[in-house]
Amino acid sequence: MTTEQRIPTRLGDGSLTSLTRSEMRTHIEAGVEAAVKRAHVAPLPEDDIDHLLEICASKSRFTGVDIGLGPEMKSTGEIMGIDTEYDRALYKAMVASSVDVPLKGKLIATVAESDKQEAVAIIRAFEKLGYVIYATAGTSAYLNEHGINASPVMKIHEGEPNLLNLIRSGEIDLLVNTLSTDKRVEREAIQIRRASVEMGIPCLTSLDTARALLLSLDARQRGETFACQTVDEYLKGI
């Protein structure tokens, strides 16, 4: 049985001791609970205000760098949208992080093999909104097999006109490009994602984000009124 390492730690009263990580966790939890009690903090009423944090990285500032975000970069910046309903708060966070797309337009879908099944329902929902779908041969064939009208576009190495030409044409409103483990596919995907940034086209590398965007667009399509208040006004009466 291994003994948990003890780490020199200075407590809140200034005294120095040594604690294991488990003991640290206990001290922290007890400290937070005590602080909350002292501050008389009341929990927010359920379903009253929704806060949504959206990742916000300055992609346009990194010239020539891939915009596919790993866990580290996803935590470098966040924007919060606040509204009285979740989908409206989500839409505000999306727009604030430069993911602002029309209710209908043109979409390119290049989806990794492992994501194709999950992507079907998402791409179908975009089609129902009124989006024209373009996809690479494999993704296009898969989507067509599942009843989605997707026009095939050549990959960069297959010749022209290809995905890069289509992105740079200015006709595309959204790019859904999930990350692949295939190195050759990713080499081209990096060029495609970079071109989308240069053209100001929102690029989603996660199907979860694409699903969230659909939810926010649904609120916009319904013509709901978005709350526009100060933080004090949102918190009034709490």
- Domain span holding position 207: 50-221
Q: Are residues 214 and 148 in the same domain?
A: yes
According to the model, what pLDDT value does residue 120 have?
96
Q: Is 225 helix (H, G, I), strand (E, B) or coil?
A: coil
Q: Is 192 helix (H, G, I), strand (E, B) or coil?
A: helix
Sign of CA dihedral 224, 228, 231, 235: negative
User: Does 2 fall in a domain?
Assistant: no
Q: Are residues 167 and 80 in the same domain?
A: yes
According to the model, what pLDDT value does residue 123 have?
96
User: Does 113 fall in a domain?
Assistant: yes
70/22: higher pLDDT: 22
According to the model, what pLDDT value does residue 88 have?
80
195/238: higher pLDDT: 195
The number of domains in the chain is 2
What H or E segment, with its residue span, contains residue 19?
Answer: strand 16-19
Report the DSSP beta bridge partners of residue 106: 132
Say how far apart CA 75 and CA 97 lie, in whole Å.
14
Say how far apart CA 10 and CA 15 lie, in whole Å.
6
64 HSE (CA, 13 A, CB side): 0
Question: Residue 158 belongs to a domain with what CATH number?
Answer: 3.40.50.1380
pLDDT digits (tens, 9 = 90+) for 149-158: 999 999 999 9
pLDDT digits (tens, 9 = 90+) for 71-102: 444 445 567 777 777 778 778 877 777 777 88
Question: Is residue 20 within 8 Å of 32, Cβ to Cβ?
Answer: no
Nearest alpha-carbon partner for 153 in 192, 115, 101: 192
User: Does 1 fall in a domain?
Assistant: no
pLDDT digits (tens, 9 = 90+) for 124-156: 999 999 999 999 998 999 999 999 999 999 999
